[in-house]
Structure 1
Amino acid sequence: MAKYTLTGQWQGGFQADVTVTAGGSPISSWTVAWRFSDGQTVTQSWNATITSSGSEVTARNVSYNGALGAGASTQFGFLGSSNGANSVPSVTCTAI
């Protein structure tokens, strides 16, 4: 599972963190995806590799935080730009 949290907002920008938590079994990698509905873009990220195609965003684990034990969590974050509205998107998480 993944939880998106808006941690800061300012004129023209914002910061968000996403917590990824393994379920009842260990995982070896994860991917989190979401769709921005207000034209936001990611400008910088840490603890994940983030790619965008239009409003679709995909974050993948990096080498040191993909493997998680059952119930364990990791976090990644990013800075973004926005033009006013900044709705929190729904996220989906896929784990292997």
Structure 2
Amino acid sequence: SAINGWRVTMTLPSGASIGNMWSGTASGTSGTVTVTNAAYNGRLGAGQTTNFGFVGTGTGAGATVSCTAT
């Protein structure tokens, strides 16, 4: 079904951080970071997809991720 927004929560391991981000808005740069949709990619029809990206530093080993749609 269609959604009006999305949220991804990531818990980054110690020493890892997020630098530049695109196609989303981050709540911070290290520790537990929540990324929410940008104004242009939150509303998705059934079967549609979107993505976001970022430049990170440190290791991603041990990171946990969860996704939520509204």
1:8-40 deviation digits (Å, cap 9, x = unpaired): xxxxxxxxxxxxxxxxx1000011001012421
Task: List structure 1 runs of 4+ shifted beyond 3 angstroms.
Answer: none
Structure 1 residue aligned with 2:63: 89
Q: TM-score, normalised by structure 2?
A: 0.86
1:95, 1:28 → 2: CA distance?
8
Q: Following the alignment from structure 1 to structure 2, what is the Cα–Cα distance between the partners of residues 93 and 42?
A: 18
Alignment check: 8 A CA contact 1:51 1:58 kept: yes
| Counterpart-to-counterpart distance in 2, 1:53 and 1:92 | 17
Q: Letter of the 2:26 partner, please give it.
A: I
Larger Rg: 1
| Structure with greater contact order relative to length (CA < 8 Å, sep ≥ 6) | 2
- Alpha-carbon separation, structure 2, partners of 1:88 and 1:76: 20
Long gaps (5+) in structure 2: none
Unaligned runs of 5+ in 1: 1-24
**Matching of residues 1-96 of structure 1 within 5 Å:** 25-52=1-28, 54-82=30-58, 85-87=59-61, 89-96=63-70
More strand by share: 1
Q: Is the 8 A contact 1:51 1:57 kept in 2?
A: yes
RMSD of aligned residue pairs (Cα, Å): 1.6
Q: How many residues align?
A: 70
The one-letter code sitting in structure 2 at the alignment partner of 1:49 is: T
